[in-house]
Each structure stands twice: as structure tokens, then as C-alpha cells.
Structure 1
Amino acid sequence: MNSRHLIILMALSGAININAQRTVQTLKNGWEFCRGDSFNESVSQKVTVPHDWAIYGPFDRKHDLQVVAVEQNGEAEATEKTGRTGGLPFIGKGIYRTVFEVPDTTSRTITLVFDGVMSNADVTLNGKKVISWPYGYNSFYAVVDGIAVPGENYLEVACENKDGQSRWYPGAGIYRNVHVVNTDKIHIPTWGTFVTTPVVTKEYASISLTMDIEGTYNRQNIRVETVILNPQGKEVAKASNVFCARGQEFTQNFLVNDPDLWSPRNPELYTAKTTLSVDGKDVDEYETRFGIRSLAYVPEKGFFLNGEPIKFKGVCNHHDLGPLGAAVNKSALRHQLDLLKDMGVNAIRTSHNMPAPELVELCDEMGLMMMVEPFDDWGFRPKSPNGYGAVFNEWADKDVSNMVRHYRNNPSVVMWSIGNEVPSQWGEPGINELMRLRNTVRQLDPTRPITCGMDQVGEGAVIDNGFAAALDIPGFNYKPQLYDKFYEKLPNRLILGSETASTVSSRGQYFFPIEFKDHNVVLHEGNQSNSYDNESCSWSNTPDLDFARDDDHDWCIGQFVWTGFDYLGEPSPYDTDAWPSHSSVFGIIDLASLPKDRYYLYRSKWNDESPTLHILPHWNWKGREDEITPVFVYTSYPKAELFINGKSQGMREKNDSTVYNRYRLMWMDTRYEPGEVRVVAYDNDGHAVAEKTIKTAGKPHHLVAIPNRTSLTANGEDLSYITIQVADKDGNIIPTDNRRVKFKVSGAGTFEATANGDPTSLLPFQNPEMDLFSGAATAIVRSSNSEGTLIFTASAPGVKPVTTTIEVK
């Protein structure tokens, strides 16, 4: 096997670097992969890791077909669930093989670090089994001293996904990065430091750095020197001490004057660079990235960051990257976070799984707070036959320990969650499980509060049985109408919306007449949901009620919307024998990374740095002439006047007549006539401050291609998302055009994937063609390893093609 392609990167968030004493090899290229129980070289494939074998499809109704009653949705009878895990072939076994080189093992420790393998991983090195890890979302590692040899080392990773393992699309294979860490025998181990900031003021901050040191001998003296570097790389504090090894932890303390405090607006990052020396010789160097910030959860008053009150304007996200599947890509993650930050999001909940290290690293850098969560199934009354409940009793402490140790240095992480909607919310076994998890987290990190997403609030459940009171922060899913009751009964005196809204909508799909349907499932022809943002599932509500609770009470500390992005699987409300529905419509942004109208409703409320003015629906309704076609405006301005073909439809002002009028401007009786819709927005003093216009488009004329980035890095991994639409001869976008478009990429890059956001589309993501949905689709292109120009062309019958270029450098 010719697999000696090693990329050396700084790849582990928060705590690892590369220097003369320590190297990290990230094993990306040179892998061979085979489906099945045994490795067959004649049918194996050469793949790059991260790799998701199932995303290539094909979609099929038969994949993981489940007959189940979803207790969390209030179902009492089992029904046939189609598309529940995305309709993709993720079930089965696979084997990966590669070779890596170790220069020397004398006086060295070799550690294999896996950011995530989906799932039931068995790792073998040089024919010897070194570790097994069942949970696919967690990072794990194995020290392979005595097994690793100088020269070539043969690594094999077998994994298996089982029937009934998941409630959404989990991905398959080695879908996150793999690293080989080479250190001296005396070293700081993986995730071996813990930084806290006990005192934080604007004038100074105290810093405590606790570390494990391994490979020592009894009574051996080790010189430990740590310098603290500020965000500009300047040394601002230093400590040098002798550690007498007796198996204990070692702690150093520092004072930093005039600290740059980490916050969403100013995500300033410090580095603690620790060097271990023995007899005057440096043997290890370890970098711990951290932020200086204070957290305070004040009963009745809310959440304070660095002494300033702040609400969580958060979203929940599954781990898949839409058409890229579960295979992690930092550029794709950054693209998601860029879209969310523009919407005004300041927090992410990793629901319901440990995140990729790259996501946490980006949240540190971009200023997004995080609720990190491990799983949504405990051992008592598990939700799925082969879900996490099947391994909870044996593995929960190990998994939670890895999660906390991995991410407790990251300043973005401000809260731990220990579960979500677990059936264990009822009865004594659940309280025992809660206390077990709570104690594990607190032992490893006493600085952050613990929450859990709860949905069972009936008699004898979490409010009455002590479950909610045992949490630092009670998190509730879809219960804003009951917050006052919870607040009065619970001792915590704080309420968090751990999951909110679950509004359902399909991008650019509008259904008439318009009725607001909180807690009432509405089904439409074609298995789509209304983009007027007026529909939700039986357990949930539209965004407006959650906005009001946050606005009206300090003790409501904010929310995490379900979800930021559509994801593969869980196609509620079209999950019961409703194939080909295979992806969710909960997202504020669709599977193709295209914002829905709802994006602008949240933006108008959450983005306080840039104004919002958005009109819906589109104005292309052939056959609806003179029929009532309501117009909504989502805006950060307090009032606006609407004009149709120059005729005023009246002024609307945000008011408290209904919770919907408080956040939306709505003209419910307007009638469609082709032409122009114009809205003029006014400030509180009555001054016209902004306007926007949409027009009825003419005949299709040409394609339009808009890349989110026109310059990429020549690293073979950077991505650009290109939006494809059809326009008339005057450039007006045609939002109803659904023709098929073909893509071609040449030059310094390749075609990666495509999607259109239609939850019923069965076209493969990897083929360079896609039907437009509601007038748009996305093509994703990848940079090459060489500098040059990437040339992208889109073509379709009946319209002029479009070519755009992207510089790769």
C-alpha cells in the first residue's frame, strides 16, 4: 500500500502545537476504504479523510425504515417513519487503512487522536487492537507506546452503524480528522491543561493554569515555564517553577493587567505556552489557547458576560453540512457561522452531540458562545434500540469526561448540557442518571453551569420530581407559554429556552389563505411548509412568542432556535409515510445554505449592528390576479408604508395588539397585480430611512451566479458557495423557475457538491447538475492545492449560460 501522504497541521483546538519537541501529523490522504466486514483490496477505494461514505447515496425509502411512536412528539401509536434518518445508506460496516511513519520511538510517546468516527470504532495498529469507542460523535485517543514502531506503521479503523441507531442522519465512517501526536516520554498529555480566570476586571485578571504531566519518575524534578501571550502575540505574564513529580497535577498562577476580554463583539484570544525541561533540556512544549472572560448567571436578573447583561440569541445545529454530509470541513463550518452571525446569532447549541473541534475553534475566533451537549438518550427507557441508551451505563462517564476535558479551555463554551428530552425525566432512575452526569461534569469543570433540554412538564415530571431543580439552569423545549409557572415553582429563578420555535417552512413556498398555526400541524400538497412563517409542529410555536418572553423578562436568559440550518433526516411534519421527504424544514437556512424568509425575521430582531428590510412573498403569481395575497415586511425599523404599483396600501407600525404585530408588519388584505411592490421604512421620528422594491419578473433570459467568496486559499480544502438563479433581460430574478442547471469547473479547483434546499429532491449531491427550487440552487466548488484561477460555468436549456471566476492563491 503506497500511503505515505502525511500533512502536518496544527489541528487540535485549544491545546496543541508543533515544535521541535512535539509533532502532530494529520492523516488526510493515503487512505483506502472498503465497505463490509472484511477488507477486500480488489474493491477498495482511495479516499481522503474526513470521509462520509453514506452521503453518496442513493436516496431510498428503504434505508433505515422505522416503525416507531415518537414519544417526544406526543405519539401513542407506532407508524411507519420514512426519511427519518435521511433516506441515505449509512447502516453497515466499513474498514479504513493507511500507513504513517514515525521517525523514532526511543524515549518517545505516540498518541493516536480521533476527532470522531461514526461509529463503534475498532482501531488496530500493526495488527494489534489498541482501542474501541462506540459513540460516533465523541473524540477519543489511545497511547500506542510499545505498538508503534520506527518507520512504517499500519493503521486500520473498522466502524459500524446499526439499524435503529439514530433519529436523524448521523453520517458514516471516519468523518472527522485523525492525528498522530509524537512527544517525549515526559509530556503534557492530550487535553492535559485546564485554564480558569478566577478574577476578571477591566483593570486586571487572574489566570490559573492546571496541567497533567506524564512520563515522570517518582521525585523527578521538572522545570515548568509558561508564558502568557496576548492576542497580538506579546508576552504579558510569565512563570517558571520546579515540579517534583509525585503523580499530582501542577498549577501555575498569573496576573494580566489591562486584559482584552473575550466577548461576541471582541473575541480576543490569549495563549499559554508551556515548556517542560529536564536537566536544562526542553522536552515538551504545549500551547493552550484561552480567553479571559467572566460568566455570571444571576437569579432573577439573567446572564452576565464580563459584567454586562446579555441574552442568548442562539440556534441549535446538527452536525451535518447539508450536501457535504457529515465529513467535517472548516471552510463549510465558517460559511455557516458567517450566515448565522449576520442574522445576529451569538450562540450555538451542539444538538445533540459533541462538536467537531474545528467548530469550537471557529466559535472561539468568531465570538459565538456555545452550549456543548453530548447526547439525547440516557440508559433508562432509551429512545432508539441501538441509540446511545444501549451503551449509556458503561460509557456515559467516559464520553462526558472526554467532552469536558476537550473543551473546557475554550472561551466560547459558556454552558454544558447533559442531555435532551430524555424519557428519564420521569421517575427516580432519571434523577439518578442526572446526578451521575452532573457530578462527572462538576468534578472536571466547576466554572460553568449545567443544563438539560426538558420537555416533560406534566404532573409528576421535571417541575415536581426535583429533576429541573437539580440543574443549574433549567432548559425548556417549546414551553414559552408556561415560563411564568416554571419561574414561580423552581428555585433557580432563571429560565432558558433550550429549544424554541420549531417553526416549519420551505424556502420560497407560499400557501393561501394565511393563518397562524401554533401547536397545529399543517400539511400541504408536495410535502412543503409555508414560507410565511406561520406554521409549526404540534409541540411548538412561531418565533414571535419566544421573542416576547425574552423581551419581557430579565429572568428569561434567551433561546436556542430549532434549528439554524435544515439537516438530513427528521422531515417533520412529513415523516409518516411521506417519502420522498428526507430532510427537515425546521431550519432558518435551508439545506443549500440559502436563507429562508424567516432568516430576516430573526435578523430584524437580533442584528443590532445592521438594519433589516425584507419583503415577502415574491411577486410572480400568474393566475392569482386580484386574489388576496398578503404582504409581510420583516424590518428592524418601527414602521413602514407599502405601495403596489405606486398606490399606498397604508402604514403599518409595530404594536402590541397581537404578539405577531409586535414583530412583523403585515398587510393581510392586499391583492395581487403584476408590477412593483415597494416598501418605505420610517424611524420613530417619522423620517423615511430606507426602502426596498421587488418586481414581477419577465421571461427567462440568463443565469446568474453569485459566489459567496471570490478568493480561496490554495490548500485543497477551501470552498466557495455559488448561488445559481434565472433572471429576465432586465436582471430581475425569477423565483418560480425550477429548470435543471448543469455545472462545469476547470482551472484551479474542482466541483464539490450541489443542493437546492428542496426536502423532497432525490437528485444526488455529487453530480454537477441540480434542479432549481423556488428559483435557486447552490453549487459548491473546492480550491486546488495550486494557485491559479478557478473557472465556473452554469448552463441550462432556454437561457444564456453564466461564467464566473474565483482566484485561488
Structure 2
Amino acid sequence: MIPQSFNDNWQFFKDPAAARAAAMGGPQPPCITLPHDAMVHEPRTPDTPSGAQTGFYPGGQYIYQKRFFAPADWKGCTVALEFEGVYQTAQVYLNGTLAASSVNGYTNFYADLSTDLLYGAENRIKVLADNSAVPNSRWYSGSGLYRGVRLWVGGPIHLPAEGVQVTTLSADGDYALVEVAAAVKSSAVTPRTVQVCVSLGGETGRAPVTVFPGQFETVRQTLAIPAPKLWDCDHPNLYDCTVTVEDGGQVLDRAALRVGLRTLTLDARRGLRLNGKAVKLRGACIHHDNGILGAATWPDAERRRCRQLKEAGFNALRSAHHPMSREMLEACDELGMLVMDEVSDVWTVHKNPHDAASHFAQSWPEILDRMAAKDYNHPCVVLYSIGNEITEVASPRGCQLGRAMTEHLHRLDPTRYTTNGINGLMAASFGGQIVPMMKELLSAPGKTGADGAGSNAFNGMMGLMAGETGDRFAAHPTLTALLDEPSHTVDVIGLNYLTGRHLLEQELHPNKTVVGTETFPADIARLWGLVKRHPHLLGDFTWAGYDYLGEAGCGIFHYDGAANFSSVYPERTASIGDLDLLGGRRPISYLREIVFGLRKAPYIAVERVDRYGQTPSRTPWMLKDNLASWTWPGFEGQPANVDVYSDADEVELLVNGRSAGRQPAGEEHGFTASFSIPYEPGELTAISYTDGQETGRHTLHTAGASAALTPEVERGGELTFVTLRLTDREGLPNLSDTRTVTVEVQDGTLLGFGSANPCSEDPYDGTVCPTYQGTVMAVFRGSGHARFTAEGLPPLELDF
């Protein structure tokens, strides 16, 4: 079967009475197009039960309705709707009768419509999306039908949804040996013999199969593809694969998919190898939201986010902490991004009162089935993570469940490897060992910076995992004993914030590989040095690659005495990504690119001159409160701390052509040269030298007064992203200025309008927004015209 979009012409209701009235012919609301995140349109309040975890967005109950006609030729066919993601629980009704339900908001599920209830005339689909039981997820979840819906229609003899699996058995420069397995299902009344035809890379195959009523058969065919163009991160080559079911020359059903041919191997001596070549995972953890669009999974937004992360030097993404969207997987296939797809943030022990632990013990096999079926044909997926910071991971029952999940995944997909993001603090706490360990490691108790309970308190305690104390904890014999069995339940040992164990694991488990499933951003220089030198270390996944909604305050620098992880309204974002909420690269992103060896030019980062001498709150996820800006009006002559990131031997800093001296840089100095100079408007230039020879330079200029809104337009297939920057008369961006921008739209749809400000109270579905660091962004759907205005600046007219 080939799916059809079912995303248009939905009605959305928050009021059940209005939904009932509309169903009876009463007032009809405007139709919406999926995906639709209901949560991002809710008003935020300081007393929201989930607090900072969801960025002070509340949950709720929502109703989606759609009418459609079932053609007469559907009679006797298999008809199903695939819901790619409904948060949190879902009930799907066909003409008033329950057709499907789901308790997991992050996995796809199917509603079978192949019943007598599918009338020959108009039909009504109603979906109840219930996210009222809060708090549940520890981050911004979104609500409602935040991912798309697809319609599948197949005849009496058909290929079921996700019924074709393509496996690269072997590959070299001459041939790739590819197996195409196709499931053929029958709802016919008599046995039938049909032909299953396969086409891939110019090669074809054909095999007969007899299918019996109510059963299905799997047909496997092997094709030898000559001179294959293999898929990898630098050359993400994809092939079209077509499978048809034919009878007497008539095509009964057809499936079409895009696949990549590649091989994957793993061992502790050579690490992870893609097509026989070693690859290190330059990884980023990401949540599922798309910033000012909320959790709505627009394909263009997923592709844009993937592309921006790839351009920033990453080659791998970890889906935290739930299965990745199909749209992001397709983007990773096309752009050459490896994927660690993750199952869940919890197993059977709650982190929040209404999280997935309520049903995970019963639902995990189905969740794994759906994830593996979704991922199988995506060459980007190389690792399955069975969990994140699982509380009971080191308990006997936890180890039993971990083994069961790994074995289940290996049966579903023997071509990929499993891991588990193990948090030592969590494991030791559940094991009752944390108090004696902390008494031993700490001479005196310290303030964690976390108030309240639950996940906020735990995140605050994570400050203990940084620095020397964290390394001593990571290598503690008690922790080693606790983690021995869970380390053997997966193929790759995944460690969250346990850099001090990365080399120790080689001694303890010499035949195992290790990956940093979650690491502090500031640890990248030390950690990547280990990764480069030790084959058993597969790579690193920083927390986090892209900023996200919820877990608000993780990386916000407070200068007023407020503490991180203490639910400070109106904080909305974590403010911790290498890339901010709009996709702008923060200085840490350029440091990471230099550490990875992907950038030779130096990069200048200036600590906020207007905050000089002030002490902010800190968490171990934060590096420095700095910007690539040399525009600080009113602070002339005041001290300025300037860092220059570089892999060179040394760096020279020039202020308006005058040397401020040279400082050592490179790996031995954390790839950072630091200077303290008076702020002086003009030109700031960093020049890097190795062996006395210049290797690159980076320059910042002081911007003048803002004179224009300068747009950067990114057009996708359906969406247009317009980033507006305040610039002076020379076109230089002015990050120090703030102007309130208003947008007016003719035709088309404004999907989101906002900034990267982590503390803004402006709604993302409004038409007015102040700039933050001189920038705002608007996202449009369809074609139309927009007019942007800001006080004191000429208006900007733009077609999209």
C-alpha cells in the first residue's frame, strides 16, 4: 500500500459541547491542517502544574473531527488510518464507534477502518486527545495531533503498511547484495497465487506466492546491485525501491520506498564501522519540538533542524527520549545524519506522577515493534536506545527487563545495535548507595541550586557529576559493582555524564564499546580527545544540540539570585543548545566544531560586557554567557573578557589594528585563548598561528544604530522561514538593540512568530514580538505576502 495524506480539513475543539453541536449541524469552526500542536496555543500561567518542565504550558483535553467519503471501490479493501503521534492518550472513533486507542503519545498507531461501519457515503472520524493528566513528560510534550495522519488502502491481496523490509547483506565496490522481504496479506475468500515483483537500482526480481484467506506470507528476494552507491554521512545516496503484487499482468498493490545501501559492524578493537570505515559519532541530543512551532512535526521544520545541526558539525542525533518522527528520519537519510532512536524516559518507576511508567510494563513490546518497523528501512538509524536514565536500571528486575528489550529488538532487527543511557547518580540512588558514596566524596554538603521535588531536584543534583567530584563518583567501586550487570544487557555501554568511566570501562569490559549518550557541553574538549585516541569509544552526544521548549532554566544565566531548576516564571526554554531556538549558532557550537577538527579559522566569543563583575547562577550544562559581538554601547572603557577558540598553537588579538598580545591555544589549553581588554568600539580581530604561520582569522565589527530589518528567507516545500535581523547602514547585525516587530499577513498562514528569548511572555501565535539579540523569526505556510514593521525603521514587504 502507498499511504495518502489525511492531514487536511480537520476541525479542532477545546469544548466538547461545541464539538457535539458541530456534529449535529451547528456552528462549524474553521478547518485546520495537521500537524497541530494544541499546547503551544494555550495561555501560560505561573501556577501551571507542570511548571518549568513544560515551559509553564498547561495540558488539556482536545477533540479533532473530520468528515470523509468512502468510495464504493473500497468495499472489501483493507482501510486504515495511521496516526504518527497523538499526545498523550488517544481514542479514535469511526462514526461513533471506538476504532483504536493509544496510551503512548510518542509512537505511531493504526486505526483499522475495514468494518461495516465504513459507510458508502459520508463518514466521521473523531479523535479524543487527552493530555490533562499532568505532569507527565519532563519536557515540553505538545498536545493533540502534533504529527500527521496517513490513510492506507489495500485490496483483498495487498502489502500491509510497513510490510517491506530492505536489508543490505554485504557490499563492496563491485556489488551490494540486497534482500527485499515483502509481506503479502490476503482478505480474499479463496487461496490465490500471485507474483511479487521487486525493482531496485536497475535490478529486478519476481517470485510466485500462494496466500490463503486471512493469512500473510513473507517473500524474500535477493538482488545483486552492481557498482553500488553506498550510503554514508558524506554521500547519503538513496535508491528507489518498488514492490508490486501482480496477478495475470494486473497490479493488485504497490509499495514504494527510498532506501540506502550500507553495512554496519561493531567491535571494541575497531569501533563502529560504516561500509568498513571507522566512524566516530559527533552527536547531539535533541527533543522533538520545533521551537516557536511547538511540537508540530512539519517535514520542512524537521529537515531545517537536521540541516542546521549537520552544518554545525554534528553527524549523529539522539532522539531524546522517545521514538523519532518519520519526518526527521527521512531528513537524516537525505542529509547523511546517523541516528540513535530511543524508546522511553521511564520503564516502571515514575519520574513524574502521570508519565509512561503507568503503562510501560504492558506496552513496551508494542512500542518496540512500532519503533523498529518505522526505522527498519532508514539507513540513518544505527543504534536503538532502550531507555534514558532509567531509575531501576541496576536492579535485578531492571536488568531482566533490559535484556528482554534488547533481545526483542534483535529479533525485530538484527542489523542494528542497542544501548542504554545510564545515569550513575540515578542508579546509585535507587540502589540505596548514594548517601554513603556522597559522604565519602564530599567533605561538606553543597547547595545544589534546585528547589522543589521530582525531576527539578534531580537535575539540580546533577551539578555533583561535573569536575573532579564527578570523575571520582564515576569511577567509584560501588558504582562499578552496580553497573556491571546492566552494562551486559546491551551491545554498547551508554553513559550519561560519566566521562570518568569511559577509559575504566575498557579495563572492566574489554570486549564492549562505549558511547557518551549524554554529556555536558563544556566537557567536549576533554571527552573528544579520549574518543579520538581510543577505538572502543564510539563518540559523544552532547546535551543538547538544539534548544527546546520546557526543562526551562537549565541554561539560563540568572544575575538576580534566582536558581536554575526552580520553576522561575516566565522561563520557557532550556536555553542550553549549541543552536538557539531559531537555529542560530551559539559560541559553544563553534568551539565544538573546532574540537571536532572541522574548522581551522579561530572564533571570537565575548562575555557580556554589560555583566562584567557580576556572578550568575550556574549549572554544569552552561559554558559562558558570551556572544560573537563587539557592540556594547555605553560600556566604552569598561573591562571585556574575550575568548578565542582555536586549534592552533597560539592566538593574537588585535583591537583596531593594535596587538593585545598572544596567548596559547590548541588542545593542551582547551582550544581556548583568553584575553582581558578594555572595550573599545571598532574592529576586533583574532589571528591563529601554528609553527609561526597564520592559519586563519576572525573579525568582529562594532555595529552602528539599527537602520533596517534585514531578512534571511529559507523556503521549503510547504513552509517558509523568515529570520529578521536588526542591521546598521552597512548591513552589520546589531545584537545589542531591541525593537518590537509587528507582522501583518495577506493570504498564506502565519504558523509561528517569536524569538530565542528564553524568558519571553509573548505567545508564538501572536503578531507582535520584540527582538532578542537583534533577531526574530516568522514561519509561514503556503503562499502570501507579509509586512513587517518596527518603530523607527522602514517597513519590510515580503512575498513568501
Q: TM-score range by the shorter chain?
A: 0.7 to 0.9
- Structure 2 residue aligned with 1:484: 503
User: Per-residue CA shift, 1:536-584, capped at 9, x if unaligned?
Assistant: xxxxx44322222222322211111111111111024422142222210
CA distance 1:769–1:217, change in 2 (3 Å): closer
Tell me how far apart the structure 2 counterparts of residues 425 and 148 of structure 1 sit (CA, whole Å). 46
Q: Does 1:446 align with 2:414?
A: yes
Q: Sequence identity of aligned pairs in percent?
A: 28
- Structure 1 residue aligned with 2:208: 241
Aligned residue pairs: how many? 707
- Structure 2 residue aligned with 1:547: 528
Q: Does 1:101 align with 2:69?
A: yes
8 Å CA contact 1:237, 1:255 repeated in 2 = no
- Structure 1 residue aligned with 2:619: none
Match runs of 1:48-197 below 5 Å: 48-65=33-50, 82-89=51-58, 91-104=59-72, 105-146=74-115, 147-161=117-131, 162-197=133-168
- Structure 2 residue aligned with 1:596: 586
What's the CA shift for 1:689? Answer: 5.0
Q: Does 1:370 align with 2:344?
A: no
Q: Does 1:783 align with 2:754?
A: no
Tell me how far apart the structure 1 counterparts of residues 341 and 481 of structure 2 sit (CA, whole Å). 21
What's the CA shift for 1:217? Answer: 6.1
8 Å CA contact 1:237, 1:256 repeated in 2 = no
- Structure 1 residue aligned with 2:363: 395
- Structure 2 residue aligned with 1:301: 270
Question: Which has the higher mean CA deviation after the structures are superposed, 168-177 or 750-759?
Answer: 750-759
8 Å CA contact 2:786, 2:797 repeated in 1 = yes
Aligned equivalent of 1:493, options 491, 496, 512: 512
Q: Does 1:269 align with 2:238?
A: yes
8 Å CA contact 2:421, 2:518 repeated in 1 = yes
8 Å CA contact 1:36, 1:92 repeated in 2 = no
- Structure 1 residue aligned with 2:788: 794
SS in 2 for 1:470: coil
What's the CA shift for 1:213? Answer: 1.4
8 Å CA contact 1:589, 1:599 repeated in 2 = yes
Aligned equivalent of 1:640, options 651, 667, 673: 651
What's the CA shift for 1:668? Answer: 2.9
Match runs of 1:39-54 below 5 Å: 39-40=19-20, 41=22, 42=27, 44=29, 46-54=31-39
User: Per-residue CA shift, 1:35-78, capped at 9, x if unaligned?
Assistant: 1455343585532221111111322112224xxxxxxxxxxxxx
Aligned equivalent of 1:437, options 400, 405, 421: 405
Q: Report the TM-score when normalising by structure 1.
A: 0.83
Q: Does 1:473 align with 2:444?
A: no
Higher helix share: 2
Whichever residue aligns with residue 729 of structure 1, its letter is: R
- Structure 1 residue aligned with 2:440: none
Question: Which has the higher mean CA deviation after the structures are superposed, 244-253 or 550-559?
Answer: 244-253
- Structure 1 residue aligned with 2:694: 688
Tell me how far apart the structure 1 counterparts of residues 708 and 482 of structure 2 sit (CA, whole Å). 56
CA distance 1:260–1:461, change in 2 (3 Å): same
Whichever residue aligns with residue 801 of structure 1, its letter is: P
Whichever residue aligns with residue 589 of structure 1, its letter is: L
Match runs of 1:270-349 below 5 Å: 270-349=239-318
Tell me how far apart the structure 2 counterparts of residues 216 and 328 of structure 1 sit (CA, whole Å). 34
Tell me how far apart the structure 1 counterparts of residues 483 and 385 of structure 2 sit (CA, whole Å). 21
8 Å CA contact 1:243, 1:250 repeated in 2 = no
User: Per-residue CA shift, 1:84-109, capped at 9, x if unaligned?
Assistant: 111112x2211111012221232311
8 Å CA contact 1:332, 1:719 repeated in 2 = no
What's the CA shift for 1:802? Answer: 4.5
8 Å CA contact 1:342, 1:603 repeated in 2 = no
User: Per-residue CA shift, 1:731-757, capped at 9, x if unaligned?
Assistant: 3322211221222344x6443322221
CA distance 1:553–1:460, change in 2 (3 Å): closer
SS in 2 for 1:173: coil
What's the CA shift for 1:400? Answer: 1.1
Tell me how far apart the structure 2 counterparts of residues 93 and 653 of structure 1 sit (CA, whole Å). 58
8 Å CA contact 2:646, 2:665 repeated in 1 = no
SS in 2 for 1:337: helix
Aligned equivalent of 1:616, options 605, 614, 635: 605
Whichever residue aligns with residue 7 of structure 2, its letter is: K
Whichever residue aligns with residue 533 of structure 2, its letter is: D
- Structure 2 residue aligned with 1:200: 171
What's the CA shift for 1:167? Answer: 0.7
8 Å CA contact 2:519, 2:541 repeated in 1 = yes
8 Å CA contact 1:427, 1:461 repeated in 2 = no
Tell me how far apart the structure 2 counterparts of residues 53 and 580 of structure 1 sit (CA, whole Å). 19
Tell me how far apart the structure 2 counterparts of residues 223 and 611 of structure 1 sit (CA, whole Å). 60
Question: Which has the higher mean CA deviation after the structures are superposed, 550-559 or 444-453?
Answer: 550-559
CA distance 1:278–1:113, change in 2 (3 Å): same
Question: Which has the higher mean CA deviation after the structures are superposed, 572-581 or 199-208?
Answer: 572-581
Tell me how far apart the structure 1 counterparts of residues 405 and 16 of structure 2 sit (CA, whole Å). 35
- Structure 2 residue aligned with 1:507: none
Tell me how far apart the structure 1 counterparts of residues 104 and 211 of structure 2 sit (CA, whole Å). 37
Tell me how far apart the structure 2 counterparts of residues 118 and 546 of structure 1 sit (CA, whole Å). 36
- Structure 2 residue aligned with 1:759: 758
Tell me how far apart the structure 1 counterparts of residues 153 and 84 of structure 2 sit (CA, whole Å). 17
- Structure 1 residue aligned with 2:452: none
8 Å CA contact 2:552, 2:567 repeated in 1 = no
8 Å CA contact 2:647, 2:665 repeated in 1 = no
Tell me how far apart the structure 2 counterparts of residues 612 and 216 of structure 1 sit (CA, whole Å). 64
Gaps of 5+ in 2: 429-477, 555-563, 607-628
SS in 2 for 1:466: helix
Gaps of 5+ in 1: 1-15, 18-23, 66-81, 504-540, 785-789
Tell me how far apart the structure 2 counterparts of residues 223 and 270 of structure 1 sit (CA, whole Å). 25
Q: Does 1:678 align with 2:685?
A: yes
Tell me how far apart the structure 1 counterparts of residues 720 and 649 of structure 2 sit (CA, whole Å). 38
8 Å CA contact 2:417, 2:492 repeated in 1 = yes
Whichever residue aligns with residue 667 of structure 1, its letter is: S
Tell me how far apart the structure 2 counterparts of residues 226 and 635 of structure 1 sit (CA, whole Å). 56
What's the CA shift for 1:312? Answer: 0.5
What's the CA shift for 1:656? Answer: 4.6
Q: Does 1:25 align with 2:10?
A: no
CA distance 1:239–1:130, change in 2 (3 Å): same
8 Å CA contact 1:426, 1:462 repeated in 2 = no
SS in 1 for 2:236: coil
8 Å CA contact 2:79, 2:153 repeated in 1 = yes
CA distance 1:53–1:467, change in 2 (3 Å): same
Tell me how far apart the structure 1 counterparts of residues 537 and 218 of structure 2 sit (CA, whole Å). 39
What's the CA shift for 1:189? Answer: 0.8
Whichever residue aligns with residue 144 of structure 1, its letter is: L
8 Å CA contact 1:744, 1:751 repeated in 2 = no
Whichever residue aligns with residue 604 of structure 1, its letter is: I
- Structure 1 residue aligned with 2:557: none
Tell me how far apart the structure 2 counterparts of residues 189 and 247 of structure 1 sit (CA, whole Å). 9
Q: Does 1:212 align with 2:183?
A: yes
User: Per-residue CA shift, 1:110-144, capped at 9, x if unaligned?
Assistant: 11111111121001112211111011110011322
CA distance 1:584–1:30, change in 2 (3 Å): same
Q: CA RMSD in A?
A: 2.3
8 Å CA contact 1:705, 1:804 repeated in 2 = no
8 Å CA contact 1:222, 1:276 repeated in 2 = no
Whichever residue aligns with residue 206 of structure 1, its letter is: L
Aligned equivalent of 2:386, options 388, 403, 418: 418
CA distance 1:774–1:405, change in 2 (3 Å): same
